[in-house]
Amino acid sequence: HSVVITGTGLHQPPYTITNAELVESFNRYVAQENTRHADAIAAGTRAPLQPSSVEFIEKASGIKQRYVFEKEGILDPQRMYPRYQERSDDQLSMMAELAVAAARQALQQAGRQGVDIDAVLCAASNMQRAYPAMAIEIQQALGAGGYGFDMNVACSSATFAIEQAVNAVRTGSARCVLVVNPEITSGHQAWNDRDCHFIFGDVCTAILVERADSATAPVQWEVLGTRLATQFSNNIRNNFGFLNRSEDSDPQARDKTFRQEGRKVFKEVVPIAAAHIEGHLADLGHVPAAVRRYWLHQANEGMNQFVIKKLVGEADRERAPLILDEFANTASAGSVIAFHKHRDDLVAGDIGVICSFGAGYSVGSVVVRKR
C-alpha cells in the first residue's frame, strides 16, 4: 500500500525560560555552591564552579529560549530540576496526557478520530516508567484499537517510529498509526551543569500515518521512503537505569543523567547525517538540490548550517528552517516541530526530508512528497 502522513500535532508547554532567566538562576547556584565550598576552594582542593553566559549560549547553539512544563523548580538554585506532582495509578500519567493533547491535533488535521487508529507508537528519549507501555495508556485514552508499544532511539525516536508506522501500513497490519513524541527533557536535563544546562526544552509532537487509498485528509504527504542507520558512540550518554540500585550507584549522580562531548558530536554527526540524506535521496532518484525543504533535527544552529551546506552548497534558512531558537533541543520532537510549522508553503509535487540525528549515534530520514 502507498502510505501518507495526514496530520501532525504540537503540544507546547505553558512556560518559557529565556536565556537571561536561565543564566541568572544558574549563576546564583554557582555563587551559592562556591560560598558553601569556600574553604576547600581557598585551600585549592576544589575548583570553583564557573558562571554561564547568555552570549555563549546563543553563539554556541543558536538557542534563545526553551519551553518547560514546570518552571519554578528548575530556576530555584536550591533545587535545579522541575517539580512535578506524583500521580496515582488511576490518573492519566503525564506523558500520556501530553501525547493525547498532541494526538488530538493530528487527528483533527487528518479528519480522524481516536477510534480510527489501530496502532500507537510512543517514541521518546525517556520513558516515565517501564510498563505498562505509555503507548497502551495513550491508546486507551484516545479510544483507539489495535496495539501500542514504546520505543526509544533518543533524538531519532520519531523518525525510527515513523518507519515502523510506514511499514505497518505498507504491509497491511495497520491502516492508521499514531506516532507520539512526549519529550519531557526537563525531567533529567542536568540544569546545574554549565556545559549543557541550556540545551533542552520540553514539548510533545504527534504524527498520523495512514494508507493512501483510504485517507481523507485535505493535505497529504506521500512517504517516498524511510532509512535508518546507527553507529555506536559513547559521546552522548545517559546511564540512568534500573540497575543503578543493584550496582549501589546513586541514580541522582551527575554521570547518570544526560552528558555529552558536544564538540565531538558536532564534528562526527554532521558528515554522517549529510551522507545519509544524500544516499537515501540518490536511491530514490533525487538530488539534494531538488529537495524543497529539509526539516532537520534541532540541536545546534551551526550543525544544521553545515549539513545543509554539504547538501546544497549554501546555508539556507528557508530550505532548512530552524525552530531551536524558540524551542531549544527537544530531542526526537525537533524535526517534527519543524515539519509541523514549516510546510504550508510547499505545493503539490514538492519534496521534503524529515531527518533526525543524535545519540546512539542514530540517523533517520523520511522523504515525503506533497500530494
Is 188 among the residues that bind ligand CO8 (CB under 6 A)? yes
Q: Which three cell numbers stand for residue 282?
A: 540518490
- What character string, x for contact with ligand CO8 (CB under 6 A) and - otherwise, covers 326-365? ---x-x--------------------------xx------
- What are 281-284's contacts with CB under 8 Å, separation 24+? 281/353, 281/367, 283/225, 283/227, 284/224, 284/225, 284/367
Q: Which amino acid is at 201?
A: G
106 sits in the region (left: phi over 0; alpha: psi -120 to 50; else beta) called: alpha
**Rounded CA separation 223/361 (Å):** 24
Is 255 among the residues that bind ligand CO8 (CB under 6 A)? no
Cα–Cα distances (Å) from 48 to 41, 44, 75, 182, 257, in that order, read 6, 9, 21, 36, 22
Closest residue by beta carbon to ligand CO8: 358
Is 323 among the residues that bind ligand CO8 (CB under 6 A)? no
Q: How far apart are the first and last CA of the chain?
A: 15
Q: Cα–chain-centroid distance for residue 207?
A: 13
Q: Which three cell numbers stand for residue 41?
A: 576552594
The region of 28-36, 241-249, 263-271, 363-371 touching ligand CO8 under the rule CB under 6 A is 263-271
Q: What is the largest CA-CA distance in the chain?
A: 73
Could you give the strand order of the β-sheet that contains 147-151, starting from the edge strand earlier in sequence?
147-151, 119-123, 176-183, 203-211, 3-11, 221-230, 362-370, 351-358, 293-296
- Out of 155, 176, 204, 355, which one is annotated catalytic? 155
Is 233 among the residues that bind ligand CO8 (CB under 6 A)? no
For residues 53 and 167, which CB has a smaller minimum distance to ligand CO8 in the complex? Answer: 53
Nearest distance from C-beta of residue 297 to ligand CO8, angstroms: 8
Nearest distance from C-beta of residue 306 to ligand CO8, angstroms: 11
Q: Which three cell numbers stand for residue 46?
A: 576544589
Is 223 among the residues that bind ligand CO8 (CB under 6 A)? no
Is 258 among the residues that bind ligand CO8 (CB under 6 A)? yes
**Rounded CA separation 354/343 (Å):** 11
Is 240 among the residues that bind ligand CO8 (CB under 6 A)? no
Nearest distance from C-beta of residue 68 to ligand CO8, angstroms: 12
The upper half-sphere exposure of residue 11, i.e. CA atoms within 13 Å in the direction of its Cβ, equals 23
Query: In this chain, which of 109, 260, 298, 335 binds ligand CO8, going by CB under 6 A?
Result: 260
Query: In this chain, which of 166, 208, 299, 320 binds ligand CO8, going by CB under 6 A?
Result: 299
Nearest distance from C-beta of residue 273 to ligand CO8, angstroms: 10
Q: Do residues 102 and 9 touch, judged by C-beta distance below 8 A?
A: yes
Omega before 147 within 30 of 0, i.e. cis: no
Is 125 among the residues that bind ligand CO8 (CB under 6 A)? yes
The region of 27-35, 36-44, 188-196, 345-353 touching ligand CO8 under the rule CB under 6 A is 188-196
Query: In this chain, which of 5, 265, 277, 353 binds ligand CO8, going by CB under 6 A?
Result: 265
Q: Is 204 one of the annotated active-site residues of the chain?
A: no
- Residues touching ligand CO8, count (CB under 6 A): 30
Query: In this chain, which of 17, 154, 270, 291 binds ligand CO8, going by CB under 6 A?
Result: 154
**Rounded CA separation 164/263 (Å):** 31
Query: In this chain, which of 263, 314, 318, 347 binds ligand CO8, going by CB under 6 A?
Result: 263
Is 53 among the residues that bind ligand CO8 (CB under 6 A)? yes
Binding site for ligand CO8 (CB under 6 A): 52-53, 56-57, 60-61, 125, 154-155, 185, 188-189, 194-195, 198, 200, 236, 258, 260, 262-263, 265-266, 299-300, 303, 329, 331, 358-359
Catalytic annotation, residues: 155
